[in-house]
Amino acid sequence: MNTEHSSKAAPVNVDVDASLSGQPRPNHGHGIGKEARRRVIWGSFIGNFVEWFDYAVYGYLASTIAAAFFPESDKQTALLATFAVFAISFFVRPLGGFVWGHIGDRLGRRTALSLSILIMSGATFCIALIPSYSLIGIGAPLALLVIRVIQGFSAAGEYAGASAFLVEYAPANRRGLYAAVVPASTAAGLLLGSLLAALLSIVLSDSQMAEWGWRLPFLLAAPMGLIGRYIRTKLEDTPVFRELAKEDEVIHAPVKDMFANHWRSLLLAVGAVLLNAVGFYVILSYMPTYLSTELGFGATESFFATTIALLTYIGFIFLTGLASDRFGRKRVLISASVSFILLTVPAFALLDTGNFLVILLVEVFLGAMLTLNDGTLPSFLAELFPTRIRYSGFAVSFNLANAVFGGTAPFMATLLIGLMHTKLAPAWYLVAAAVISLIAVLCAKETSRKPLSH
More confident residue, 133 or 289: 133
The DSSP result for 324-379, as a single string, is HHHH-HHHHHHHHHHHHHHHHHHHHHHHTT--HHHHHHHHHHHHHHHHHHHTTHHH
In 6-163, where do the E strands start and end? none
- Structure confidence at residue 10 (pLDDT): 35
Say what the pLDDT of residue 8 is: 35
Q: Count CB-CB contacts under 10 A for residue 413.
A: 23
Cα separation, 93 vs 155, in Å, equals: 8
Q: At 112, which helix (H) or strand (E)?
A: helix 109-127
pLDDT for 275-308, tens place per residue? 999 998 888 877 877 887 778 877 777 778 888 8
Mean pLDDT on 312-333: 94
Query: Over 70: is that where the pLDDT of 43 sits?
Result: yes
Mean pLDDT over residues 319-327, rounded?
Answer: 94
Q: Which CATH class is domain 33-443?
A: mainly alpha
Predicted TM-score (pTM) of this structure: 0.84
Max mean pLDDT among 32-36, 124-128, 283-287 falls in 124-128
